[in-house]
Amino acid sequence: MYDGSKIIAGLIVFVGLFTFPFLYNMGKASAKPEPKIDTPVIQQLAEKKCVEPKSFMRAEHMKLLNEWRDSAIRKAKRVYVGAEGKEYTISLQNTCMKCHSNKKKFCDECHNYMAVKPYCWDCHLEPKEKKL
């Protein structure tokens, strides 16, 4: 009794409309983030290492930053000892962002992808970046 071809045509249109936004975004906003570490300070490092191992930094840097802030402000302790015993001055601007001076190509690269917008830069200075 019903017209099978109309149903199929309808399904094709439906699937098309439904998947269009995904296909349209491919290679654009959803391109996988590739944070760059080729900054002048990192290039000078003998070992290309962060304050803690990469996997830890990737997963836990937000918590580490909170710890750094609490340590500096509440305990007035401004020296951080990394897992390998190396000492770092606790400072977002002068330590993290000195190595990661390419905020746009590093921090923002991931954050834009994940749609997180840390409010830190309302107060803390962003590194000055050259226009590429």
If one asks whether residue 42 binds ligand HEC (CB under 6 A), the answer comes out as yes
If one asks whether residue 101 binds ligand HEC (CB under 6 A), the answer comes out as no
Could you count the other beta carbons within 10 Å of the beta carbon of residue 96? 24
Query: Exposed e or buried b for every residue in 106-129, given b needs 16+ CB within 10 A?
Result: bbbbeeeeeeeeeeeeeeeeebee
Pick the closer one to ligand HEC by CB: 16 or 53.
53
Query: What does the chain come to in residues?
Result: 132
Residues that bind ligand HEC (CB under 6 A): 33, 35, 37, 42, 45, 48-51, 54, 57-58, 61-62, 64-65, 68-69, 72-73, 88, 90-93, 95-96, 99-100, 106-107, 110-111, 114, 116, 118-120, 122-124
